[in-house]
A and B are shown apart, each in its own frame.
Chain A
């Protein structure tokens, strides 16, 4: 199935992209996607559990199972205001 990844702020800089389409296996979780990225993107390991996730613009836990056409956003703690 296909999903879209979006990255923001210093996570975007670590990834080197702000948006990417990925083909992943059915039933994959957010955690599994992140683990795969960590193997190819060393700087991502520095975020140590502080990363936040949103699927289709709603916050979600790492255990969330992704569906076809989902958009997974990955970002650091927010600092607006």
Chain B
């Protein structure tokens, strides 16, 4: 089962992890991306994510569906936030389950790499004296 979401609310990490996979899965692999308090030598106060909502939702679903098919995942959940994200909060979670670990590891890495390449979401870092858009993958 593949589930994806783009949401403003905080991510319910415990709830997602409690519900991923089933009794035939020997592996659950997750990646959590969190808002970091620094960028180079500057202190970051919070982040804001802007998304092209309709397109980003389609892309998230397509990438997760693709990964689930390629690595025969039994389940896969991807949640990305938009709007303001405080330091230490999760901006994204990817969780995948499979009978054996290798497939789940590969799928999760593929999903985060592909999201960073393709999904129309942009990150802005806020400092005490201003803000900058983070340069994306080109």
Contacts and interface: CB of A to CB of B under 8 A. Distances in A.
B121 A54 contact: no
Contacts of B117: 78
Contact of B118 (A10, A50, A78): A78
A40 B112 CA distance: 37
A72 B7 CA distance: 24
A10 to B, nearest CB: 5
Contacts of B52: 6, 8, 54, 57, 73, 75
A77 B135 contact: yes
B121 A77 contact: no
A80 interface: yes
A81 B119 CA distance: 9
A16 to B, nearest CB: 16
A44 to B, nearest CB: 15
B133 A57 contact: no
Interface residues of A, number: 18
Contact of A77 (B50, B51, B112, B136): B136
A32 B48 CA distance: 32
Contact of B119 (A10, A76, A78): A78
Contact of B55 (A9, A10, A54): A54
A8 B91 contact: no
B50 A81 contact: no
Given A9-B50, A9-B122, A54-B120, A77 B55 contact: no
Nearest to A80: B121
B58 interface: yes
A78 B91 contact: no
Interface in A47-75: 50, 52, 54, 57-59, 73, 75
B58 A80 contact: no
B118 to A, nearest CB: 7
Interface of B: 33, 49-52, 54-56, 58, 80, 91-92, 112, 115-124, 133-138
17 contacts: A8-B122, A9-B133, A54-B52, A57-B58, A75-B52, A78-B117, A78-B118, A78-B120, A79-B134, A79-B135, A80-B80, A80-B91, A80-B92, A80-B119, A81-B80, A81-B91, A81-B121
